Amino acid sequence: MYRRTFISTYLSLCLTQAGCATSLPVASVSSEEVRSGFGTIGVATGRFTPQVRFEAPQHVEGAVGAAAKTSGRVLGTMWEVCGGTMAKSAPLIFVPIIVGAACVAVTPIVAVGGALVGGGNSPAAEANRAAKEARAPEVKALRGIIEPALAALASERPLHARLLKQVASHTQGTVVRVTKAGPSSPRRRPRYKDLARKGIDTVLEVTVQRLDVSMGNAFVLTARARLIRLADREELYANTHTFDIGSRSVSEWTADGGDNLRAALVSGYEALAVEIANELFAKEAIASRSNRR
């Protein structure tokens, strides 16, 4: 028995060009053959507010180098002491063995401790902390508009409406809205058992997982899309999509009480809906893979 499967994961931030949507390229097969098994499609979206992640300033190389040097110095000192103790106690048969075993046992702990101390006190670490403190007012201002905007959009669910429109425009089959069964958290993967009894054959689930904010205040949405056949709970398709909604100054993003940001987010949801529908239903983008059970 064969089943058609396309499972791909790709996560990338398209930071160089505003309005750039990204996903993993897919192979081309007969779209009609794949579409014929979809039946009635239920469209579900996430019932949670996406996470917000701010890029932190990092001077990684300097911090790592300082950590390695400090760890090496501490270990060197420790083994000098161990070696001296073992040499002095050589006439006592078991004492050098016990001291050596103890030194070996604590070596990983001492190494990690030295690395933490060295990395935390390095000039690079100090620069990181200073940059983070300097950026704190910007982060606070951005959070003040980002989190309410995302919460409002999670409640209004504009992505849901746009997905319904896009999917319906690509298929002659029945497309229905699924309102209460979508994931309630980023990691939740519902099985949609009750929907099969309501005549739904396949569920397209799309969740906006998070919004990443770079040091240059570029905003990137990340969404996860899945297509599940309810008869056997087979995941026919899974992909991660990103969309760069643009980069602006903090004052530009916060102008008009965050209306600029809200409009950019809605445009991003629209672009994600178009890309996902095209990838699933456009003849040149439908993908599948036959796997033997």
Q: Which residue, among 223, 202, 197, has the nearest Cα to 212 in the 3D structure?
A: 223
Residues 189-208 have pLDDT tens digits of 888 988 988 999 999 999 99
Burial category of 83 from C-beta neighbours within 10 Å (exposed 0-12, middle 13-18, buried 19 and up):
middle
Q: Which residue has the tokens 């899945």?
A: 226
Specify the pairing of strand 290-292 against strand 51-54: unpaired
Mean pLDDT for 263-283 is 88
For residue 243, which phi and psi values (nearest 5 degrees)?
Answer: -140, 125
Mean pLDDT for 47-64 is 73
How far are the Cα atoms of 1, 56, 231 from residue 293, in angstroms, in the given order? 6, 45, 16
- Per-residue pLDDT at 93: 60
Domain boundaries, the chain: 2-56+141-292, 60-131
Mean pLDDT for all residues in the chain: 74
Buried-state track 157-181, b at ≥16 Cβ within 10 A, e below 16: bbbbbbbbebbbeeeeeebbebeeb
Q: Which two tokens stand for residue 60?
A: 């990684």
- Per-residue pLDDT at 5: 34
pTM over 0.85: no
Architecture of domain 2-56+141-292: 2-Layer Sandwich (3.30)
- Per-residue pLDDT at 134: 78
Q: Is 126 helix (H, G, I), strand (E, B) or coil?
A: helix
Say yes or no to pLDDT of 240 above 80: yes
Q: Where are the alpha helices (DSSP H) in the chain?
A: 31-35, 60-88, 94-120, 123-156, 158-170, 193-196, 250-254, 259-281
- Per-residue pLDDT at 87: 63
Query: Rounded distance, CA 98 to CA 100, Å?
Result: 5
Report the DSSP beta bridge partners of residue 240.
Answer: 224
